[in-house]
Amino acid sequence: MNNKFFKPLQLSTRSKQRLLISAALIALSPASWAACTYTVTNNWGSGFTGEIKVTNDTAQTANNWSVSWQEPNATITNAWNATLSGSNPYSATGLSWNATLAAGASASFGFQANGTAGAPKVNGTLCGSTNASSAPSSIAQSSAVGSVRSSVALSSSSRPASSLAASSSTTISSLVIQEEQAGFCRVDGIATESTNAGYSGNGYTNSNNLQGAAIEWAVNATSSSRHTLTFRFANGGTANRNGSLLINGGSNGNYTLQLPPTGGWTNWQTASIEIDLVQGNNLLKLTSLTADGLANIDSLTVAGALTAAGVCGTGVGSSSSSVKSSSSASTSSVASSVGTARMLTLDGNPAASWLTKSRTKWAVSRADVVLSYQQTNGGWPKNLDYNSVGSGSGGSESGTIDNGATITEMVYLADVYKQGGITKYRDAVRKAANFLVSSQYSTGALPQFYPLKGGYADHATFNDNGMAYALTVLDFAANKRAPFDTDVFSDADRARFKTAVTKGTEYILKAQWKQNGVLTAWCAQHGATDYLPKKARAYELESLSGSESVGVLAFLMTQPQTAEIEKAVRAGVAWFNSPNTYLEGYTYDSSQAETNPIVPKAGSKMWYRFYDLNTNRGFFSDRDGSKFYDITQMSLERRTGYSWGGSYGTSIISFAQKVGYL
């Protein structure tokens, strides 16, 4: 490793004491080196998923961060939210949207590996170094204690050292449950809030400010044994916000969790407590003992014998086999109704990632320009560059969700309002949301334009991810997720959005195409009332879409994973992952379109834009509606003027692997 990437780690006396404590004990992930943390997020014995968080703890903006680490007993198979290179050691660099970090800002990326999880040092441009040669001798001597899979310095609120001591034969597993991930069941309040900085994952859980407000989790354990729960929390009040912790309704323990003031809502600490879990499924309920409610909870970490996310609403002790692998864990943790169905993480979800990037689509200084093009019905036209101010109200023509119009502006202006509180931007977001809900058919379909223009634009429009991403935006607004975690909408508004999302989901499930009775994917547009695939322009025939189906699946994976939704998602992912659907060892290169844009590339996969509905054969079509299976046989104008293939399925397959659907 190039030493120019390292900087000495300067420790205060208190920090040294904490490091000494963590080295002498077997504790929990994440493992922290200066501004870089390594977290094992899921562990099923033969493999695991992890996350590395890079924080810019300097006073200046940091550009193009990079990190490297070595897995002593594992091989990384894929990664997301970063560019991965190398092979033990591995290196990761930021992508275009997360490579630049303002002072105090963080970026996280995840990965999946085969093998045994360890606790490696993370080195890089923003990481310090705590290798044994520079660490105190007591740390170096204790770093090999036991078969420890992860470790971290404990805060002063953690349990006494004597209760954590372990022998060299102890194996510790660590499960981290973030808000709305598998294992997170429900909260009386906001499941994911991101107003206060310093959280991990997508945000933190903010329960209602009243006595009795509760948060619930489900954990599946391989054996009945002692485990340690560690809650990462912030309490900006002046008094404790303690909670009563019931394990399996109290039959396996009733504890009091101390959640003292942390000095601010952006100051995060941890509180740990030892509890007993039974073999199989366990339900954990933390209930506020004060009128102020609970502290904000960022994450729950479970350490002890091997555990996995449990099944919300399922009886105690059931589904014990679900911890054996990631796929079996996800299969067993699906409930039959929305109220008890598990939520997947949003981290790495293509639809959620699109929404996050839309928050900063344009500079804040362009907000008035963007606002000037909003039409009187609340929608926006498409393909605007916003380089100059529009004419007043923007007119009263049909607004559209095509090419991300309206929904991108809605997310962007919500973020501008969140930052500055200027009400004209709030009002514009409200008008845009009303435009979306008003355009929805009774079946749940969303058209390309509203008011309707006639023709193929009146169909349910999955084209360019219009309907899928519009429903994602409404779902974020309904659940008060950033940037809609302000007063931008009322409870009545959010209730309308929930109804719209439910209807839209039902439409999508009914529209999923079957080949010989087997669920597959979706067309770029479907009939608003008959749910059938429809043609659009002459060269856009009825087909299965290798592009738009990604957005539809990504949206479905933001929803509670009921049995019906999981069935649809698994079928769609299986379709993308089938060797009969993609071209192995090929890529689509538009620069070669005048000859043949489908060119060999080792390690690459290419999906077609269009597939025959019944044979699943990729095809191309010309302006006269003629169909070709050899792209070189069609007109040069259409061959060079349209995108007929791409690496479309890569993102959804990667996310499906992350959440255990592959």
Residue 300: its pLDDT value, please? Answer: 95
Say what angle helices 548-556 and 649-658 make with each other, to 10 degrees. 20
Residue 22: its pLDDT value, please? Answer: 31
More confident residue, 51 or 399: 399
Top mean pLDDT of 67-71, 148-152, 322-326, 574-578 is at: 574-578
DSSP letter at 382 equals: S
Question: Using CA atoms, how far apart are residues 597 and 311, in angstroms rounded to an integer?
Answer: 47
Q: How confident is the model at residue 44 (pLDDT cuts 50, 70, 90)?
A: low
Residue 213: its pLDDT value, please? Answer: 87
Residue 253: its pLDDT value, please? Answer: 77
Q: Residue 136: is the preceding peptide bond cis (ω within 30°)?
A: no
Task: Retrieve residue 463's tokens.
Answer: 């084209």
DSSP letter at 160 equals: P
Residue 39: its pLDDT value, please? Answer: 81
Residue 43: its pLDDT value, please? Answer: 64
Question: Looking at this protein, which amino acid is placed at residue 163?
Answer: S
More confident residue, 506 or 153: 506
Spatial strand order in the sheet of 598-608:
582-588, 598-608, 645-646
Task: Retrieve residue 573's tokens.
Answer: 């992912």
Question: Using CA atoms, how far apart are residues 486 and 344, in angstroms rounded to an integer?
Answer: 24
Question: Using CA atoms, how far apart are residues 648 and 608, in angstroms rounded to an integer?
Answer: 8
Spatial strand order in the sheet of 610-611:
544-545, 610-611, 618-621, 627-628
Task: Retrieve residue 348's tokens.
Answer: 């790495």
Q: How confident is the model at residue 314 (pLDDT cuts 50, 70, 90)?
A: low
Q: How confident is the model at residue 103 (pLDDT cuts 50, 70, 90)?
A: confident
From residue 66, alpha-carbon distances to 33, 72, 85, 124 in Å are: 14, 20, 11, 6
Task: Retrieve residue 193's tokens.
Answer: 């809030």
- How distant is the alpha carbon of residue 619 from its chain centre? 33
Burial class from Cβ neighbours inside 10 Å (0-12, 13-18, 19+) for residue 311 reads: buried
Residue 316: its pLDDT value, please? Answer: 63
Top mean pLDDT of 28-32, 121-125, 345-349 is at: 345-349
pLDDT of residue 5 exceeding 60, the answer is no
Looking at the DSSP bridge assignments, the partners of residue 584 are 605
Average pLDDT, the chain: 82
Angle at 453 between CA 449 and CA 454, to 5 degrees: 120
Q: How confident is the model at residue 430 (pLDDT cuts 50, 70, 90)?
A: very high
Question: Using CA atoms, how far apart are residues 327 and 323, in angstroms rounded to an integer?
Answer: 9
- Closest-CA residue to 260 (of 245, 243, 240, 244): 240
From residue 503, alpha-carbon distances to 75, 443, 478, 485, 661 in Å are: 43, 7, 14, 23, 25
Say what angle helices 466-478 and 491-511 make with each other, to 10 degrees. 150
Region 58-73: mean pLDDT is 86
pLDDT of residue 466 exceeding 90, the answer is yes
Find tokens 């922290």 and name the residue: 32
pLDDT of residue 12 exceeding 90, the answer is no
Q: How confident is the model at residue 334 (pLDDT cuts 50, 70, 90)?
A: very low
The count of C-alpha atoms lying within 13 angstroms of the C-alpha of 172, restricted to the half-sphere facing its C-beta, is 28
- Closest-CA residue to 460 (of 476, 434, 440): 440
Model confidence, pTM: 0.55
pLDDT of residue 594 exceeding 70, the answer is yes
Question: Using CA atoms, how far apart are residues 500 and 217, in angstroms rounded to an integer?
Answer: 28
Residue 42: its pLDDT value, please? Answer: 64
Residue 396: its pLDDT value, please? Answer: 59
Residue 462: its pLDDT value, please? Answer: 98
Residue 336: its pLDDT value, please? Answer: 34
pLDDT of residue 4 exceeding 70, the answer is no
Question: Using CA atoms, how far apart are residues 461 and 440, in angstroms rounded to an integer?
Answer: 11
DSSP letter at 455 equals: G
**Contact in structure between 32 and 127 (CB atoms under 8 Å):** no
pLDDT tens, 203-240? 899 998 888 889 999 999 887 778 889 999 999 999 99
Residue 179: its pLDDT value, please? Answer: 86
Radius of gyration from C-alpha coordinates of the chain:
26
One-character DSSP codes across 554-570: HHHTTS---HHHHHHHH
Residue 395: its pLDDT value, please? Answer: 58
pLDDT tens, 535-581? 999 999 999 999 999 999 999 999 999 999 999 999 999 999 999 99
Region 296-305: mean pLDDT is 92
Question: Looking at this protein, which amino acid is placed at residue 415?
Answer: D
